[in-house]
Amino acid sequence: MPPVTTVLIANRGEIAVRIMRTCRAMGVRTVAVYSEADADAPHVALADQAIAIGPAAARASYLDVPALLAAAHASGADAVHPGYGFLSENAAFARAVAGAGLTFIGPPPEAIAAMGDKVAARARMERAGLPVVPASGVLAPEPDAFAAAAAPIGYPVVIKAAGGGGGKGMRIVRDAAALPDAIRAAAREATAAFADGRIYLERYLERPRHVEVQVFGDRHGRIVHLGERECSIQRRHQKIVEETPSPAVGSALRAAMTDAAVRAARAVDYVGAGTVEFLLDESGRFYFLEMNTRLQVEHPVTEWTTGLDLVREQILVARGEPLSFAAITPRGHALECRLYSEDPARQFLPATGTVRVLTEPAGPGVRFDGGVARGSVVGVEYDPMLAKISTWGATREEARTRMLAALRETVLLGVVTNRDYLRAVLTHPAFVAGATHTEFLAEHLADWRSRSAPERDLAAIVAALALTSPSGDGAAALGAAPSPFATLGPWRAGSSGA
């Protein structure tokens, strides 16, 4: 059995932190890797050892396989956890890790490869008896080829990357005239995200729900599911709110979907944590979308309702041990919101800056998975997700109201975030009613602007004082003598009582 006593985490941000927490709880040593941009990042501070692997650009650091393997050897790591994104679904990386005599904490390279090629995976799943959406094969990136393929399928269609998922390289096309621009953008994004510019086309379902099933396999031939998650609230085809159970899935549908998911995993001899994604249409029919052969961003909601630690199970499976649990009985309801550095009022454009203040939410049924801390610089090189907030409740409504309280408590100053947009999603009557689908945000919140601010006048007064004060916090931060006048400025404190 492979030992897994020292794990190198080939990732950054919240997921690196989250993986390290489980490692530490299991008595496993942790090794962080970091780029020049991340020297002060929380995942570096938390690790037992941290190794610089290159410049800020991901290609030269978090995607640099030789640099990662060298760091593993230098640190004495015997296993590598890829997290999500970066190299997590790269079969060549999984092989390189194994080839270097290390344990890859993830599925076998064959399963990654089988599901990584989205076109081949569709065909394979169709043979395994899963329902799939009508689609083309890989096409030459030319309007004529796509127009010819789209004709029998019917518009709207969606152009997708064959080399990877996660919404990267996806473009919805409603008529042939829009094909040239969409093909160019999709191919370019696919190349940038997956180093694989191959694209194809499939029928675009209107207003479906995105429902996925968490599966887990061990090396003893056992493959189980851990229930579904609904992740319909998406912008730019990327999820921002997730929950389990899905408000749309009753017990009969759940049985059918989870059974299909387990069949999908079995068809590729799956081992480890994986997620089988489906689209669920308004009539209750579901279609295989893709399988993500890694830990999913939204795995905490499943952890809430099952009581399991999925990273712990991943490590047990990597060691060759059986899954730790027999049957699972999901309990209650869990929600997750992703906190992004982006401006929802301006087409979700990424925002950069320095985190000046970060107050994390806490309390019963509240979990915060963060990847930044006070002083963290949010640059343009990496994914704009800063943190995840998840909540649990006995009912969906309890989880929802806890989430609203937790979002209110989450204070991140210095970088624009989508926090208030998330609050608007959670309070929208359609969300409260569970009437969610992948067009939800476009349909209900397209014109969202920052709320009418109840204390705007007071904020203006405070801003006027802060901006005209001779002692901005810049002066204080530079370590000027701590004179009370320097810290208080021209406005003297009436009393210093708490």
CB closer to another protein, 82 vs 272? 82
Nearest C-alpha neighbor of 263 from the set 223, 295, 236: 223
- DSSP-based three-state secondary structure for 96: helix
The backbone region for 47, taken as left when phi is positive above 0, alpha when psi lies in -120 to 50, beta otherwise, is beta
Q: Among 358, 387, 369, 372, which residue's Cα sits nearest to residue 304?
A: 369
CB of 70 to another protein, least distance (A): 25
186, two tokens? 């999709």
Question: HSE (CB half, 13 Å, CA atoms) of 32?
Answer: 27
The one-letter amino acid code at 75 reads S
Q: What six digits make up the tokens of 279?
A: 């689209």
Rounded to the nearest whole angstrom, what is the least distance from the CB of residue 479 to another protein in the complex? 13
Alpha-carbon gap, residue 247 to 393, rounded angstroms: 14
Strands 79-81 and 103-104: parallel
Give 95 or 356: the residue with its C-beta nearer to another protein.
356
Instruction: Kindly state the smallest distance separating residue 284's Cβ from another protein, in Å.
Output: 33
Closer residue to another protein (CB): 287 or 340: 340
Shortest approach of another protein to residue 234 CB, angstroms? 14
Q: Which is nearer to another protein, 283 or 495 (CB)?
A: 495
To another protein, the closest distance from the beta carbon of 462 in angstroms equals 5
Query: Judging by beta carbons within 10 Å of its beta carbon (0-12, 13-18, 19+), is residue 65 exposed, middle or buried?
Result: middle
Nearer to another protein, 188 or 203 (CB): 188
**Of 152 and 482, CB closest to another protein:** 482
Give the shortest CB-463-to-another protein separation in angstroms.
3
**Strand segments (E) across 328-477:** 333-340, 342-343, 349-350, 353-354, 357-359, 366-370, 377-378, 385-393, 411-413
Task: Reduce the secondary structure of 475-489 to three states and give it as a string.
Answer: HHHCCCCCCHHHHHC
Are 323 and 317 within 8 A, CB to CB? yes
Footprint on this chain of another protein (rule: CB under 8 A): 168, 181, 185, 188-189, 192-193, 236, 346-347, 349-354, 356-357, 359, 380-384, 408, 411-414, 416, 419-420, 450-451, 453-468, 472-474, 476, 487-496
Give the nearest distance from C-beta 281 to another protein in angstroms: 28
In the chain, the largest separation of any two C-alpha atoms, in whole Å, equals 77
Smallest separation, CB 61 to another protein (Å): 15
Q: How far is the CB of 490 from another protein (least distance, A)?
A: 7
The nearer residue to another protein, 254 or 419, going by C-beta atoms, is: 419
Helix (H, G, I), strand (E, B) or coil at 471: coil
Rounded CA gap, 298 and 310, in Å?
Answer: 11
Please say whether the beta carbons of 288 and 278 come within 8 A.
Answer: yes
Indicate the residue among 61 and 246 with the shorter CB distance to another protein.
61
458 Cβ contact list (under 8 Å, min separation 6): none
Minimum CB distance to another protein, residue 459 (Å)? 4
Strand partners, 339: 387
Q: Considering the complex, state which of residue 162 and residue 310 has its C-beta at the smaller distance from another protein.
A: 162
Backbone angles phi, psi at 342, to 5 degrees: -160, 160
Of residues 63 and 97, the one with the C-beta less far from another protein: 63
